[in-house]
Amino acid sequence: MTNYNSSNIKTLEFDALIIGGGGSGMRASLELAKSGLNTAVVSKVFPTRSHTVSAQGGITCAIQSADPNDDWRWHMYDTVKGADYIGDQDAIEYLCSEGPKAVFELEHMGLPFSRFENGRIYQRPFGGQSKDYGKGGQAARTCAAADRTGHALLHTLYQNNVKEGTNFLNEWFAVDIVKNAQNEVTGVIAFSIEYGEVAYLKAQSTVMATGGAGRIYASTTNALINTGDGLAMALRAGYPAQDMEMWQFHPTGIYGAGSLVTEGCRGEGGYLINKDGERFMERYAPNVKDLAGRDVVARSMVLEILEGRGCGENNDHIYLKLDHLGADVLNAKLPGICELSRTFAHVDPIYEPIPVVPTCHYMMGGTPTNINGQAFNRIDRTDSIIPGLFAAGEAACVSVHGANRLGGNSLLDLVVFGRATGMFIQEDLKSGGGVKSADKDDIDNALDRLNTLNNSDSGYETAEVKKELQQCMQNYFGVFRRGEFMKKGLDELQEIREKVDQLHLKDKSNAFNTSRVEAIELQNLFEVAEATAIAAYSRDESRGAHARDDFPDRDDERWLCHSLYDPLSKTVSKRDVNFNPSEVEAFPPIVRTY
């Protein structure tokens, strides 16, 4: 194939470019489209096919509907504790205090929330939620549209972007960041999946809203498209990633299929049982039982299985019992779960328990940003803003989830920080902010990878290498981790790296060539997996989702901090956690029990 270079591809120019058409991307674009800036959303799928659509249980926020005395500070306390104290408290304060505004806006846009009798938004209990800073019992703080909240949210955002006339580049795939000599980000190289046309998408501000990368694991609740494209692009451009060892394993993925079963099931009164029918969470979390933090529940399930009390022929899964809730509750509150369970587990939850197993679900780490969505680098132990680069949502690490995200906080993260990023860019560009242009060499450099792949005439097959990578991550970097095993995993990753660099793209055609997309996605997955592995090996303590057999205790003296992975040296350094919220006193770290 002919090589692409800066003189044979076209340039499309925008004020702001948003990579990713999920919740955070479309919340940011809505803000920008309303402001009149020339904005484009680049999405590798039609926006309503983004992974936000799969979110089920709801969006957690102290809107004082279920409880008129609810307080965003209680939500903040729960989130700080859930994060095992390495969430940044200024960001968590912003998330929880701005949250109600962002949720009411969604309702005004038309999101079909479920309702209480008084007409207000329905809220259900979720794990890790409390009243009065953990002293007042279980709270019900998760706003829901049945068990299809993500679908309702994503469609509502798309609809409002249609209303505001947002410019969409649908089924365009971003390949690499273009940066200029000043190390500023000036846009991306992308191609149209439909026709294969390659272009330099030039912008003053580029927002990575590309979601998570759960596909680094063999077993995940994530969509096939969750390949960490934005984070990988940033890593390849030499920018750091934060807290990459922190991956959430959701307690209830459908055994065998991986599809998510919402925590809302347990919020509505469902519970987990082992092969003896025992409600075992009573032993691990005597106070809140099945509504402990997700990391705690997932580990308890794995321990039950390891100790021989798992269910099924091979004692390798756990049952989620719902039948006692009755058909009426299940059909009204959890209709989507009933549907998924019948399709993928061949089980009707009205009569039988659902077989479930902890499954990779969410990436707490990501590109480090401040609360305006500005990405930063670490230079001489201080944060240094990367001009032109932003991140929001799961791709970003702002960090509100720390070492473990609470259920329902991801949708809130999307809308609060998507909105904040859009508002900041709007003000920044209107007050003369922006970046210098890239020159020809900068653009050519960003085309390298695409050219190499297009010219490959031998090498490894994407599907095979992908399986190897996913199995390696699953084996060595799962729910429980151990130094010696991880070392083995790191060695395997070295071998996989060579293969990933030598993928053979047999099909060189231009029209809807999904093989080309999948090859680049695999390279992206690899960058994220490597960052994960190196960060996990470095953190020699157990905290939140990162549980090490060989270092079972939390070590606040050494590790009450973020890990920052530098892709150039492939080393991890430490970065302070923010303990300076502006309106409330910081919550100091205490022992985390449920």
Partner 1 sequence: MATNILEVNMYRYNPEEDKFPYIKQYQIEKPAKDIMVLDLLHLLKEQDESISYRRSCREGVCGSDGMNINGKNGLACITPISSVLKKNKIELRPLPGLPVIRDLVVDMTEFYAQYEKIKPFLQNSTTAPEQERLQSPEDRDKLDGLYECILCACCSTSCPSFWWNPDKFLGPAALLQAYRFLADTRDLKTNERLEDLSDPFSVYRCHGIMNCVSVCPKGLNPNKAIGEIKKMLLKDKKEIITTDGAMN
CB of 436 to partner 1, least distance (A): 37
48 is a site residue for partner 1 (CB under 8 A)? yes
Binding part of the chain for partner 1, among 82-90, 222-230, 412-420, 545-553 by CB under 8 A, reads 222-230
Single-letter code of the amino acid located at 498: E
396-397 and 367-368 strand pairing: parallel
159 is a site residue for partner 1 (CB under 8 A)? yes
Tokens matching residue 120: 């207000």
Give Cβ neighbours of residue 145 (< 8 Å, ≥ 6 apart). 58, 111, 112, 113, 114, 151, 152, 153
Set 73, 141, 236, 294: catalytic member: 294
CB of 340 to partner 1, least distance (A): 6
Q: Are 317 and 356 in contact (CB under 8 A)?
A: yes
Tokens matching residue 261: 């079963």
Among 181, 224, 327, 385, binds partner 1 (CB under 8 A): 224
- What is the rounded distance in angstroms from the CA atom of residue 411 to the CA atom of residue 157? 12
Length of the chain: 594
356 is a site residue for partner 1 (CB under 8 A)? no
Q: Are 188 and 173 in contact (CB under 8 A)?
A: no
- What is the rounded distance in angstroms from the CA atom of residue 186 to the CA atom of residue 179? 6
How many residues bind partner 1 (CB under 8 A)? The answer is 58
Among 501, 512, 552, 580, binds partner 1 (CB under 8 A): 512
CB of 457 to partner 1, least distance (A): 14
Q: How many helices (H) and strands (E) does the chain have?
A: 16, 22
343 is a site residue for partner 1 (CB under 8 A)? yes
CB of 519 to partner 1, least distance (A): 10
If DSSP codes are grouped into helix, strand and coil, which group holds residue 294? helix
Binding part of the chain for partner 1, among 31-39, 177-185, 317-325, 510-518 by CB under 8 A, reads 510-518
Among 34, 67, 71, 107, binds partner 1 (CB under 8 A): 107
b/e 86-109 (16+ beta carbons within 10 angstroms → b): bbbbbbbbbbbbbbbebbeebeee
Site for partner 1 in 515-544 (CB under 8 A): 515
488 is a site residue for partner 1 (CB under 8 A)? no
- What is the rounded distance in angstroms from the CA atom of residue 233 to the CA atom of residue 368? 14
CB of 541 to partner 1, least distance (A): 35
- What is the rounded distance in angstroms from the CA atom of residue 508 to the CA atom of residue 9? 18
Select 31 or 245, whichever has its Cβ closest to partner 1.
Answer: 31
Binding part of the chain for partner 1, among 78-86, 389-397, 457-465, 492-500 by CB under 8 A, reads 457-465
Among 11, 36, 69, 110, binds partner 1 (CB under 8 A): 110
316 is a site residue for partner 1 (CB under 8 A)? no
Among 34, 120, 482, 497, binds partner 1 (CB under 8 A): 120
Select 244 or 519, whichever has its Cβ closest to partner 1.
Answer: 519
CB of 194 to partner 1, least distance (A): 6
- What is the rounded distance in angstroms from the CA atom of residue 127 to the CA atom of residue 291? 4
Among 13, 137, 194, 437, binds partner 1 (CB under 8 A): 194
Tell the residue number behind the tokens 């694991």, with chain if given: 217
Among 13, 507, 540, 576, binds partner 1 (CB under 8 A): 507
Type and span of the H or E element at 112 = none
419 is a site residue for partner 1 (CB under 8 A)? no
Q: Is 497 a catalytic residue?
A: no
Tell the residue number behind the tokens 């029918």, with chain if given: 277
CA-based nearest residue to 360, from 431, 434, 259, 496: 259
Among 19, 63, 83, 534, binds partner 1 (CB under 8 A): 63
CB of 74 to partner 1, least distance (A): 19
470 is a site residue for partner 1 (CB under 8 A)? no
Site for partner 1 in 27-46 (CB under 8 A): 45-46
Q: At what angle do helices 335-344 and 326-333 cross, to 10 degrees?
A: 100
CA-based nearest residue to 32, from 428, 489, 405, 406: 428
b/e 420-438 (16+ beta carbons within 10 angstroms → b): bbbbbbbebbeeeeebeeb
377 is a site residue for partner 1 (CB under 8 A)? no
112 is a site residue for partner 1 (CB under 8 A)? yes
If DSSP codes are grouped into helix, strand and coil, which group holds residue 349? coil
| Catalytic residue positions, numbered | 294
Q: Which residues bind partner 1 (CB under 8 A)?
A: 45-46, 48-51, 53-54, 63, 100, 103-104, 107-110, 112-121, 145, 148, 151-152, 155, 159-160, 162-163, 194, 223-225, 257, 259, 336, 339-340, 343-344, 461-463, 506-507, 509-515
